[in-house]
Structure 1
Amino acid sequence: ESGSMPFAQVHYPFENSDWFEDHYPGDFIVEYIAQTRAWFYTLHVMATALFDRPAFKTCLTHGVVLGSDGQKMSKRLRNYPDPEEMFAKHGSDAMRWYLMSSPILRGGDSIVDEKGIPAAVRSALLPLWNAWYFFSLYANADARWASLGRVDSPAVLDRYVLAKLRSVVGAVTEAMDSYDISGACAAVEGFLDALNNWYIRRSRDRFWGTTEDEADTQRAFDTLATVIEVLCRVAAPLLPLETEVVWRGITAAESESVHLADWPQAESLPADPDLVAGMDRVREVCSAAHSVRKAASLRARLPLAALTIAAPDSESLAPFAGLVADELNVKQVRFTNDVDSYAERHLIVNFKVAAPRLGGATPEVAAAARNGDWALLRNGRARVGESELEAGEFEMRLDPVAPETTRALSDGVLVILDTDLTPELLAEGTARDVVRVVQQYRRDHGFDVSDRIHLRIAAPQRVRGALTTHRAWLGEQTLAVSVELLEPEAPALRGEEWTVSSLPDGEEVAVAAVRQ
């Protein structure tokens, strides 16, 4: 009887004939994969026998939803977290994203338990909320209105985020049209990472107003507001509750809904695929350099002398040198085409692909590759020993000469970080550490982000020396109109509210501030 559902549910052919003819076959059907030989099959058998047409136009199957014990989720076994409890604890959007972005929607089996829900919060819900919070915090502090729909900013970061948003709108639209929900989630999640961890972080000075370029600051606010508004519309089917709150906030439309707004059109956003590709490549370079820092236990606030980017086309990244230097806190970014000075090239044979064709010559090819008896030929081919390999039968690998300071990217780019420290670099690092201490003091004592302050710092001689050198920069970063440097005993002799903090090297500094 399950195969009779489409017509039996409306008592066809005894009534509802017009409705049935307009609604049959169904646009799509979805169930877990075992229904391909059960319900889906019986539906087609009945539809073919009775109506000589298929029972549905589009068929979706998902993997098996497993309970916390690894067995198929079952109401009888109760081997799943209580949905109402999960909604109350994490929110329904978190549960929704967790399921839609999981392998289940790509046909894989997956255990569904509470442990996976916080990951959904971190990967999607928090990044979207953080972007909105950042915008609203500084827009309100500056009493600033943003113009939605502005896409004409000449700033390279604005152009990048708008062009990347265009590609995301296109990708999500295509994924949703083809019922690829997990693909849509992946596109949104990737963009949220670029928005928060690149665009906003690299544009912070523009929002803080420290660039002394009012027009550029306004362009930054307009661009971010436009991006958040469009992103809410494209993510609304995936995060319906959070996007509703954020969209109403960014549009000041308390009585309207993002779910009634028009779907965004990719063509309304500027296209610049070369800029997107170049900037994404820069992000990979910076990620690799950060990994070198982490491995060497060099904190991000400690400036370094130089970063070298080695690649056959390294000059293509030269326009982004300033962004790279700021992101990595290095004094100089160098570009070179001399890859061989920093890494050794190795040819790796893909035997799964090559062995069936090579046959008995496979051992000789393997030995030649190990011994370095190879050469690259034209048209993507390679000579290995006495044999020739086709494109796809081998790959080239770069092994850094100094792996402790070098990373090789998948596209043949080498990232080399100079980790040698000088007294000048150490002094600047100390000043940056103190800035962090002061910013924490401002937050802990309820200062507004726009409050100007009179700042007092009591610290050992070495720290005071570093701060003397960087006094102007310290004041700019902390919005301090005056900076007084005192000896460590000063807090005990004065009545201000002092806060004592430890720097990474263990030295203590005491901070006190009053509003201007």
Structure 2
Amino acid sequence: MLIVGSLEELKKVAKKLPNVTDELLVHRPWIDMIEIETSDCREWIREPYVVDVWLDSGLAWIAGINGVRERDLWIKLYPFTWITEGIDQTRGWFYTLLTTSVLWFDKAPYESILIQGHVVDKYGQKMSKSKGNVVWAKDLYSKWGADATRLYILYKSSPWDLMHFDPDEIGEVRRVLSILWNVVKFADTYMKLDKFDPNKHKLQDLIVKALPEDLWLLSRFNSRLREIMNHMSRYELHLATREWINLVVEDLSHSYIRLIRRRVWTEEEKEDKYAAYAVLYDVLKKTIIVGSMFVPYITEYLWQAFIRNYEANEVPSVHLTRMPEIIEEFIDENLERTFNIIFKIFSETANARSRVGIKLRWPLRKLHIELISNKELKEYLTKLKYIIEYLTNVKEVEITLEKPEVDLKNYEVVETSDFKIYLHKVIDERLLYEALAREIVRRIQFMRAKINLRVDEKIRVYIDTQDRELIRAVHEFKEYIMTETRALEVHVATIPEEFFTMDWEIEGKRVRLGIQQSSLS
């Protein structure tokens, strides 16, 4: 048997070669036209059959970097840390890699394997053209975008499980990208208004002015980052992706932005406002960096349009950054547990309101929280009572370890494993006027957006109604309406013709609202 190892060697042993290029020479029929003669044999005939091609790819562990000739480099890399392929390669590539390496060096050529599951349609059927259930990547990119498609694949299931692919579910995941976009837009809008500068307003300087909700976000981010890194180290991409999604949706959008909205709306230049900006900027920047693993395109855009707009000297691409380090001293598990209870109280209060038909916008008089014998939690919650009052829109929160003495017919009661809440559901005259004022504010804000006013632009407001309760609400809460809508003046009168007007119905009461941008903006 004669084994020829290269084209050059083939030419040396050949007695006769066909007149073709080197590219054609190694293929049939020309390879069979070569005549070979050696000192020990006058005529050689090419073996017509080939060894299983898996043997060829099964030598990738040494052939891939020419390990015979590049011995020093190969020794540094062998055995290889990690390889991945589909589950169908168990008897193919994975097996032949293992067999050839064990035969040659008596050990496996790899330290770990990720065996990927197959992708089937949403009903669990194999995709095929004949069935008409094939999903083409280019169609998904055209409809949903590359980031949304990528995020869905990472989020949907573990890499080693069978994936039931439903294109319609990508739309639900794409909503995460819209939420991230809106969080950044919110931050950028108010940071620009207040001339926030991360180089001037540094987190390490302002942390002493941070409020508990700011410290909670720093703790939550670093806890999430720790979980993400742990999942990544175990190749649990689906769990790492879900942690990042929850960071964006639950921690940033649903929780922190809600908590600081009132603080950043005020035009006063308070230090705790800049502390909130410093915290939000730090967490958003790191969230974008971490997210670049999952959604590379939108994070790159946000890096250029948001981060480098505030820090021009930052690296030119998010993909050139290093993964943020976990700051252990920011992690406060007690604070996180307390806020988890607060958010649970908020959720159960919202459910109680829904049952009795009272909107969250409408203020209520009192909320009693009976804890299930936990003195330590009572102390924590008492310190953060102002957050519960703000989130639940209740004038007074009382936290006890005993059942409160209340007239139950005036309360909606909800019980959980951690606490029992008693929500006062009677709306007195004063609460009604405030509720109506809030409804007016909501509609004025809608009208501001309708005529594309900037957040900082001032307006004049006219309110035209014959309803006595609405008129009383405006008079009682005029300052509140002005503050919340950035109005320089509010009048209950016939609306001038040049104003932008809209007709509304609030709790069955008809009202016409008119707004105009003030020349003093």
Q: TM-score category by the smaller chain? A: 0.7 to 0.9
Matched, 1:141 2:193: yes
Distance 1:279 1:412 in 2: 13
Matches within 5 A, 1:73-472: 73-74=127-128, 79-105=133-159, 107-122=160-175, 124-147=176-199, 150-151=203-204, 152=207, 153-192=209-248, 193-210=250-267, 212-248=268-304, 249-252=306-309, 253=312, 256-267=316-327, 270-311=330-371, 312-313=373-374, 315=378, 316-338=380-402, 405-409=412-416, 411-459=417-465, 460-472=467-479
Shift of 1:505: 3.6
Amino acid at match of 2:150: R
Q: Secondary structure at the match of 2:453?
A: coil
Q: Deviations over 1:172-229 (max 9, x none)?
A: 122222222112112212222111111111101222234x352222222222111111
Q: Deviations over 1:252-281 (max 9, x none)?
A: 348611111122111276232211221122
Q: Secondary structure at the match of 1:414?
A: strand
Q: Deviations over 1:300-331 (max 9, x none)?
A: 11111222222112513111211111111111
Q: Secondary structure at the match of 1:81?
A: coil
Shift of 1:481: 1.6
Distance 2:258 2:452 in 1: 23
TM (norm. structure 1) is: 0.80
Distance 2:499 2:479 in 1: 23
Residue pair 1:229, 1:251 contacting (<8 A) in 2 also: no
Match of 1:354 in 2: none
Residue pair 1:6, 1:24 contacting (<8 A) in 2 also: no
Match of 1:346 in 2: none
Q: Secondary structure at the match of 2:454?
A: coil
Residue pair 2:148, 2:174 contacting (<8 A) in 1 also: yes
Change (3 A) 1:295 1:61: farther
Match of 1:374 in 2: none
Amino acid at match of 1:501: W
Shift of 1:2: 2.9
- The answer for unaligned runs of 5 or more in structure 2 is 1-52
Amino acid at match of 1:127: I
Distance 1:420 1:62 in 2: 58
Change (3 A) 1:495 1:326: same
Residue pair 2:315, 2:321 contacting (<8 A) in 1 also: no
Residue pair 2:460, 2:488 contacting (<8 A) in 1 also: yes
Distance 1:513 1:176 in 2: 53
Q: Deviations over 1:124-150 (max 9, x none)?
A: 312221211111112233443234761
Residue pair 1:324, 1:333 contacting (<8 A) in 2 also: yes
Residue pair 2:87, 2:116 contacting (<8 A) in 1 also: yes
Match of 1:498 in 2: 501
Q: Secondary structure at the match of 1:256?
A: coil
Amino acid at match of 1:335: I
Change (3 A) 1:158 1:462: same
RMSD: 2.7
Change (3 A) 1:64 1:224: same
Residue pair 2:364, 2:427 contacting (<8 A) in 1 also: yes
Amino acid at match of 2:489: S
Change (3 A) 1:126 1:497: closer
Match of 1:350 in 2: none
Shift of 1:11: 8.3
Distance 1:67 1:134 in 2: 38
Distance 1:72 1:187 in 2: 30
Q: Deviations over 1:470-512 (max 9, x none)?
A: 11111111111211012xxx24x74433222222445333223
Distance 1:341 1:6 in 2: 77
Residue pair 1:80, 1:112 contacting (<8 A) in 2 also: no
Change (3 A) 1:66 1:499: same
Residue pair 1:68, 1:79 contacting (<8 A) in 2 also: no
Change (3 A) 1:339 1:118: farther
1:507 is aligned, of 492, 503, 510, to 510
> How many residues are matched?
449
Moved more, 267-276 or 86-95: 267-276
Distance 1:504 1:95 in 2: 43
- The answer for unaligned runs of 5 or more in structure 1 is 343-400
Match of 1:31 in 2: 85
Residue pair 2:360, 2:393 contacting (<8 A) in 1 also: yes
Amino acid at match of 1:139: M
Amino acid at match of 1:440: F
Q: Secondary structure at the match of 2:463?
A: strand
Residue pair 1:305, 1:418 contacting (<8 A) in 2 also: yes
TM (norm. structure 2) is: 0.79
Match of 2:12 in 1: none
Distance 1:340 1:74 in 2: 65
Structure having greater relative contact order (Cα 8 Å, sep ≥ 6): 1
Change (3 A) 1:251 1:340: same
